[in-house]
Amino acid sequence: MLEVVLRNLIENAEKAEPKDNRIQVVGKKQKDGYKIEVIDHGRGIPKEQIARVTEDFYMVDKSRSRNNGGSGIGLSLVKRILLLHHTELKIDSIEGEGTTVSFELKEGRNEN
């Protein structure tokens, strides 16, 4: 399921048309787990729309998203998968500068 999360986040970053044609996927070790970030320097998301992008079928730019093969369910699916992993999607975006999406995973515990 985490592969689906990463694939969706990377595909969304590609659709943001990063100015430098680069997408960064960063993994950081935290005290009790890991933080994963997907970063682009593309169009960004208008501040007032960030809270809605994880809603079913919601698209910031409907015409461009459909032309790129989007349906508006990718981030909704990502949100649900991350909830199953007891974490949430964090979105930081500045319109015209880019977007960073991230989530944290707690380190698994072996209960033998």
pLDDT at 53 over 80: yes
Task: Quote the pLDDT of residue 41.
Answer: 96
The third-level CATH classification (topology) of the domain covering 2-105 is: Heat Shock Protein 90 (3.30.565)
With a threshold of 0.85, does the pTM exceed it?
no
Model confidence at 86: pLDDT above 90: yes
Hey, what amino acid is at 32? D
Which pair of tokens denotes residue 88? Answer: 């949430």
pLDDT of residue 50 exceeding 60? yes
pLDDT digits (tens, 9 = 90+) for 13-29: 998 888 989 999 999 99
Quickly state the pLDDT bin for 34 (edges 50, 70, 90). very high
Phi-psi region of 70 (alpha: psi -120 to 50; beta: other; left: phi over 0): beta
CA-derived radius of gyration, the chain: 14
Q: Which helix (H) or strand (E) holds 35?
A: strand 33-40
- What Cα–Cα distance (Å) separates residue 57 from each residue in 52, 70, 108? 10, 9, 33
Handedness of CA 91, 20, 42, 9 (dihedral sign): negative
Q: pLDDT-derived band of residue 63, with 50, 70 and 90 as boundaries?
A: very low
